[in-house]
Amino acid sequence: MGTILFGKGTSISWNGNTIAQLTSIGNPEISTDSIDVTTHQSVDRFREFVAGLSDAGSVAIEGYSDITDTAGQQAIYADAGTGTIRPVVVTGPGGSYTFSFNAFATSVKPIGDAPIDDKLAFSATIKITGKPNFALSTSAGLTTPYFEISDSAVITPVAIGSKYDYVATVLTGISSVTITPTAAAGTITINGNVVASGVASSAIPLGLTGSITTVTIVVTETSKAPKTYTIRIARAAS
């Protein structure tokens, strides 16, 4: 199973200040117009289209009214009356991702209806202007010396942190190898089996002489995208 994020811990800032007491935070959703370019030469009665302009939509936020949140809830309410465009950043749980964009408030309800037996609500909708920037937080991955393969395997290119695909060659007589990975943080798996940093894996059987065996090393940190390294181990032909 891949990395599945739990929404609790997400935050949104307005002009650099986190908006307090929220229970629901939306994310941008990009939609693109389609332009009909059908002509008499279009094939088999099918319409043809090209992509038009894109729109990142609006982000809705909801929570509980907090009249002391002057830099967040009260600030977005004040800016709604003037149409002021502000920088906005949505940060995923544990810093797993960010959406950053410019936006203005199209509706703000700083104090909602007053139920007799519940908290006062806050809600707002902000319209994104321009293109949002999405950044994914990734695991640090392997660190020096990255990984080593037993039985004098020749690795190409030399193992470094910024390369994710390798070829390793071993002699004909080698029917299995072990791999020793190194990572400063996170969980390491080799072909799905957990391996401790700096410790050799269990024996990895290789195919027949002249064949290639693919090995995958994955390093995963909590709430971050994993880093995956692929090693194709070539057993020399007899």
pLDDT tens for 99-120 read 999 999 999 999 988 889 999 9
Judged against a pLDDT cut of 70, whether residue 19 lies above it is answered with: yes
73/93 same-domain check: yes
Report the DSSP beta bridge partners of residue 218: 189, 228
Q: Domain range for residue 62?
A: 11-136
Virtual torsion, Cα 89, 94, 97, 102, nearest 10 deg: 0
Start-end of H helices in the chain: 73-80
15/132 same-domain check: yes
Report the distance separating Cα 89 and Cα 91, nearest Å: 6
**CA dist 37 → 31, 49, 53, 102, 130 (Å):** 19, 5, 15, 32, 26
Report the distance separating Cα 159 and Cα 67, nearest Å: 55
Asked whether residue 194 is assigned to any structural domain, the reply reads: yes
User: For 126-149, how does the pLDDT look when each residue is reduced to its tens digit (9 = 90+)?
Assistant: 999 999 999 988 899 999 999 999
Count how many domains the chain has: 2
